[in-house]
Amino acid sequence: MRPRESRDADQKWMISLIQGQFGSEEVRRAIGDAISLEDVNNLLTCICNEPLKYRNRAVAVLSYHRHIRLGHVAAFLGVTHSSVDDWVRRFTQHGCDSLLPVRRGCCRPNDKTYRDAVFEILHAPPSAHGFNRTTWRLQDIHSTMRQRGLPIAQSSIRKIIKDAGYRYRKARKVLTSTDPNYEEKLKEITRTLQSLGPKEKFFSIDEYGPFAIRIKGGRSLVPMGHPRTIPQRQRSKGTLIITAALELSTNQITHFYSSAKNTAEMLKMLHRLVDQYADQECMYLSWDAASWHASKAFYASVREINNAKGKGPQVRLVPLPSCAQFLNVIESVFSGMARAIIHNSNFSSPEAAREMIDKYFATRNEEFSKHPKRAGQKIWGDERVPSEFSASHNCKDPKYR
């Protein structure tokens, strides 16, 4: 380590640094190998081009690594000693990204590549990425993104999550699966979809509700000064539960109304699909980890169907990871239906609501019958995301469900 120079010499060096008189090689010779050449270039670029607060940070970091006392640096820049100490510590722990603005050409929160990567990371447990935690932190997501070659500021990660309709406190409960076999189940579903044959169908199945039939709020056009209101206390006109299945290769919905969520309704859906798709060779059923989706009676019925050779398609179960509703593709369709039919509604009876819902699904099915496309090539009825399987999707709308 070289001998410490006088305070006047230190001040002269910092003035020359601010005036842009040094190139990266000169600075590197002055500070040694404590900072990489890439970081030196980034800090010098910041000193020449960025606002004052960022210039001060860059000067402080380079001066510190030239062994200029922090007190001298703080006095020269006109800032507090603790500020310089904080900048140096942040640079040591997190590098340039923690001090400097996002570089031009870097990620923006509306960049689809970065947005999908953030949610794909959030959906897996932190342990799947080597973190000994049960919930995600911004710094952990930030670190994982850097390892993937997608550097992004923590503020941008926060904005991506917020713009998707989530708040970080809720995101830790809603967006992350706790299934220890998350990766294996995800790969199995993806592999099944990629190898789906012409005589095979893949169904995403779930229930919507129960929801009460009463005046519903929502976004609507109203005159200035006349806000729309709904009664705080209302008498329910009844309730509905929709049990539905979305076939991904044809984008067709099969649905009916249930009195409860139980195994009997799942058996009803199973036999309805077997009858409706009797000309197929195999059917894959995918749903979340609700108890009635995996009962002994249901598995016995599946074995009975599979043993009746030549009398219908074989049934294969491809369950979703536990606590992974965000991967259930039909949730996207439900969210679109809710925005189009349920919100801002005032149905006179459950029958009136059923009529509107039936018409919505019938119109949707007719559209895809006339224009056949695999799920995801077309969004229908303001659905939240394309109705296709993706590890980065948030099919369940946090605002509307």
Residues 278 and 355 placed together within one structural domain of the fold: yes
Residue 387 lies in a domain: no
Contact in structure between 252 and 203 (CB atoms under 8 Å): no
Residue 309 lies in a domain: yes
236, 213 in Cβ contact below 8 A? yes
Asked if residue 103 belongs to a domain, the reply is no
Cα 320 to Cα 42, 50, 175, 194, distances in angstroms: 45, 48, 14, 16
Domains held by the chain: number? 3
Give the tens place of pLDDT for each residue, 133-176.
777 888 889 999 888 888 888 888 888 888 877 765 544 445 66
Helices (H), 34-149: 37-49, 52-65, 70-77, 81-94, 112-123, 138-147
- For residue 399, the model assigns a pLDDT of 52
Residue at 104 is within a domain: no
Reported as a single tens digit per residue, the pLDDT across 224-242 is 777 777 788 888 899 999 9
**pLDDT for residue 12 is more than 70:** yes
Answer whether residue 378 is part of any domain: no
Output the pTM of the full model.
0.54
DSSP result, 68-90: --HHHHHHHHTS-HHHHHHHHHH
Could you tell me if 253 and 347 lie in one domain? yes
- pLDDT tens, residue by residue, 297-345: 888 998 988 888 767 899 998 888 776 666 778 888 888 888 888 888 8
Task: Give the three-state DSSP class for 363.
Answer: helix
**Residue type at 205 in one-letter notation:** I
Range of the domain at 270: 182-370
The domain boundary, picked from 98, 133, 152, lies at 98
In this structure, are 259 and 329 located in the same domain?
Answer: yes
Instruction: Give the single-character DSSP code of 160.
Output: H
What CA–CA distance (Å, rounded) separates 50 from 324? 43
Instruction: Indicate if 197 and 153 belong to the same structural domain.
Output: no
**189 occurs within a structural domain:** yes
Say how many C-beta atoms besides its own lie within 10 A of residue 108's C-beta.
13
Region at 382 (left for phi over 0; alpha for psi -120 to 50; beta for the rest): left
Task: Label residue 2 by pLDDT band (50, 70, 90).
Answer: very low
Cα separation, 31 vs 26, whole angstroms: 9
Residues 322, 293, single domain; the answer is yes
Residues 83 and 144 in one domain: no
Residue 355 in 3-state DSSP?
helix
Q: Which helix (H) or strand (E) holds 171?
A: helix 168-174
pLDDT at 325: 67
Residues 266 and 351 in one domain: yes
Residues 329 and 236 in one domain: yes
Are the C-beta atoms of residues 120 and 190 closer than 8 Å to each other?
no
* Secondary structure class of 7 (helix, strand, coil): helix
- Give the pLDDT confidence of 103-125 residue by residue, as tens digits: 544 456 678 888 888 888 888 88
Asked if 71 and 81 count as a contact pair (C-beta separation under 8 A), the reply is: yes
Judge if 66 and 147 occupy the same domain: no
Last residue of a domain, one of 98, 122, 142: 98
In a domain, 70, yes or no: yes
Beta-carbon neighbour count of residue 29 at 10 Å?
Answer: 10
| Residue 394 in domain | no
Is residue 215 left, alpha or beta, with left meaning phi > 0 and alpha meaning psi from -120 to 50? beta
Residue 386 has pLDDT above 80, yes or no: no
Residue with tokens 């990489």: 36
362 band by pLDDT with thresholds 50, 70 and 90:
very high
Show Cβ contacts of residue 247 under 8 Å, excluding neighbours closer than 6 positions. 201, 202, 203, 253, 254, 277, 375
Residue at which a domain ends, from 155, 174, 193: 174
For tokens 């995600």, name the residue: 136
- Residue 338 is which amino acid? A
CA atoms of 56 and 84, how far apart (whole Å): 9
Q: Which among 260, 258, 263 has a CA at the least distance from the CA of 244?
A: 258
Interhelix angle for 52-65 vs 24-31, to 10°? 50
Question: Which CATH number fits the domain that encloses residue 303?
Answer: 3.30.420.10
Is the distance from CB of 135 to CB of 176 less than 8 angstroms? yes
Same-domain status, 254 and 318: yes
Domain shared by 42 and 69, yes or no: yes
- Partners of 212 in beta bridges: 239
Q: Residues 50-54: contacts with CB within 8 Å, 24+ apart?
A: 50/100, 50/101, 54/99, 54/100, 54/101
* CB 224 within 8 Å of CB 351: no
Does one domain contain both 64 and 191? no
The values of phi and psi at residue 292, to 5°, are: -75, -10
